[in-house]
Amino acid sequence: MTSHASLVRTGQLVADRYWLVKPLGGGGLGRVWLARDRTDDRPVAIKRCALPEGLAPEAGGLFFAWTVHEARELARLRHPNVVRVLDVIPDDEPWIVMEYVPSRSLQDVIDESGPLSPLRVAEIGLAMLDGLNAVRRAGLLHLDIKPGNVLIADDGRAMLTDFGPAVTTVGLRALAAAGIVLGSPKYLAPERLIDGIGLPESDLWSVGATLYYAVEGRPPFARPTIDATLLAIAGERPDPPRRAGPLTGVLAGLLRHRPADRLTAGAAGAALSEIVLEPVDGPAGLAWRRRPSRERVGFAVLAAVVTALLAVVTVLAQRSGGA
């Protein structure tokens, strides 16, 4: 199957509706453009899908058929921490229309400014888990969480975007049966690497690897080659973090090798909420001061909030008693 991505031009009208304005970026599975919806003149992001490198051309029809099917499943999802799919246009190389969010990727933020503070990373982690919880309630998976697929919007929100081509277990099995197992090697959970399976816990591993990168400035298995990275993921523990401070336990819990041993989304969210809601002493005498998060703290459910508040009250009471 021949790619037509190079034939796409600024000013092109797609599906008699979307004017292409300018390219926004791209990767191994397609290129994203800023476009304008002529029906209401609003900006949208539109992705021209492409075959992954190395995929046999005869597998292209199956791959794109499932890409369209799975994108339509995603279009049912509505959540402030997940970029919305607005339209799906079947084609020999399909188009996926998404809401346009003025933003930078987490990858770009770190490339430009360096690693983030544990407090900020905890806020981003809460937003990611909040969005991921909505994904899971819809019976879907992401399966390509990485710093490049987390947007930091101009209004401060963190949002999941650019899901894998298979977001349902049926779609995942169909692609796996054809020998298609996709993902970003540095953020790929061990069970995806070894067995080719995808689970909700696989997304949690990728959340952990992404947060590790955000606070450390490098992935948890930093090796000189992809092969060495994959071998480390398959059989080694993550490199000990140096900057994570109060995040260390959460990262270790999300990056456990066996899916059943990993922190649940709820437990990880509660731990991150405590970091956001309370001052925590860090290495070298540093402290991350308590301040309200600008993110939706969906995983700071009542039980977690009450626990955190009780802890603060207890500490204050102890300090008052000792004064």
β-bridge mates for residue 221, sequence order:
none
Phi, psi of 306 (to 5 degrees): -60, -45
The yes-or-no answer on residue 144 being catalytic is yes
d(CA 212, CA 242): 10
d(CA 168, CA 48): 21
d(CA 158, CA 97): 20
Q: Which residue has the tokens 């819809």?
A: 138
d(CA 121, CA 115): 9
- Cβ atoms of 248 and 238 closer than 8 Å: no
d(CA 302, CA 286): 29
Identity at 45, one-letter amino acid code: A
Identity at 46, one-letter amino acid code: I
- Cα dihedral across residues 107, 162, 269, 221: positive or negative: negative
d(CA 317, CA 142): 44
Specify the DSSP class assigned to residue 77. -
d(CA 307, CA 87): 42
In sequence order, which ranges of 196-243 are alpha helices (DSSP H)? 200-216, 226-235
Selected catalytic residue, list 87, 130, 144, 162:
144
Catalytic (active-site) positions: 144
